[in-house]
Amino acid sequence: MAKRAAKLPVALQRGHDHKKCVAEALRQADELCAKRGARMTELRRRVLNLIWESHAPVGAYAIMDMLKREGRNAMPPTVYRALEFLQEQGLIHRIASLNAFIGCSHPADAHGTHYLICRRCGTVAEIESGAIGGAIAASARELGFDMTGQTVEIAGICRECLQTPKRGSASHAH
Ligand SMILES: [Zn+2]
Ligand SMILES: [Zn+2]
Ligand SMILES: [Zn+2]
| The pLDDT of residue 8 | 86
Q: Which ligand minimizes its atom distance to the CA of 23? A: 1
- Count structural domains, the chain: 2
pTM of this structure: 0.86
Last residue of a domain, one of 91, 106, 121: 106
Q: Which domain holds residue 62?
A: 16-106
Q: Which ligand minimizes its atom distance to the CA of 24? A: 1
Do 79 and 64 form a contact (C-beta atoms < 8 A)? yes
Residue 168 CA, ligand 3 centroid: distance in Å: 15
Residue 101 CA, ligand 2 centroid: distance in Å: 11
With H, G, I as helix, E, B as strand and everything else as coil, classify residue 107. Answer: coil
Domain assignment present for residue 95? The answer is yes
Residue 90 CA, ligand 2 centroid: distance in Å: 7
| The pLDDT of residue 1 | 47
pLDDT in tens, 115-159: 999 999 999 999 877 888 899 999 999 999 999 988 899 999 999
Kindly report the number of other CB atoms within 10 A of residue 133's CB atom.
16
Domain assignment present for residue 144? The answer is yes
Domain assignment present for residue 11? The answer is no
Average pLDDT, stretch 93-119? 92
Q: What is the mean pLDDT of the chain?
A: 90
